[in-house]
Amino acid sequence: MLDAELQLVRFDGHLFGADQPCFGCGPNHPIGMHLAFEQEGEELVSHFTPGEHYQGPPGILHGGLVATFADELAAWTVIAGTGKFGFTVTFEAKYRKAVRVGEPVVGRGRLTGPVRRLAEVEVTLHQRDTLVFTGQFRFALLDRAATERLLEGPIPVAWERFLR
């Protein structure tokens, strides 16, 4: 469910500033994925077409980047669903089929339980209308002090309204 305070349908890295450094969603990251997300009912959806510069084996998206796409989608599912920023604590992934470069991938994320200090998210990725990846993610929603300890410094100003 979309967080009522955000009142957004489309989510992307501009929410945290155009120059934020995230590889997954940073709008100006020189080699990043530049991911964006849209609310569709209870799910957050993202479309990504991996370029050849993201391949591992010839023609196949590097497995770590498949996980990166899924993790980024899960993180934004937390933001869209709670209005809070979370940090990945654990995830379990199943790679069902190779993800091909040069072909669109559709990712879907949804919150799967009540959210307090932890949020759980299920992610699926499809390519060619075939399920290629499933994952279950757990995120910690931290307060300011815990976030600054994790970052080993002050939080970016644009993050302040998203802290627990």
Give exposure, 103-130, as e/b (b: 16+ Cβ within 10 Å): eebebbbbbeeebeeebbbbbbbbbeee
Question: Does residue 5 carry a pLDDT above 80?
Answer: no
Give the ranges where the chain is alpha helix by DSSP (H): 63-82, 144-151
Per residue in 78-95, pLDDT (tens digit) is 999 999 999 999 999 999
Residue 1 pLDDT grade (very low, low, confident, very high; cuts 50, 70, 90): very low
Which structural domains are found in the chain, ordered by start? 10-162 (3.10.129.10)
CA-wise closest residue to 6 among 66, 57, 80:
80
Which segments of the chain are extended strands (E)? 10-12, 36-40, 43-48, 86-95, 105-111, 118-127, 130-141
pTM of the complete model: 0.93
The whole-number pLDDT of residue 74 equals: 98
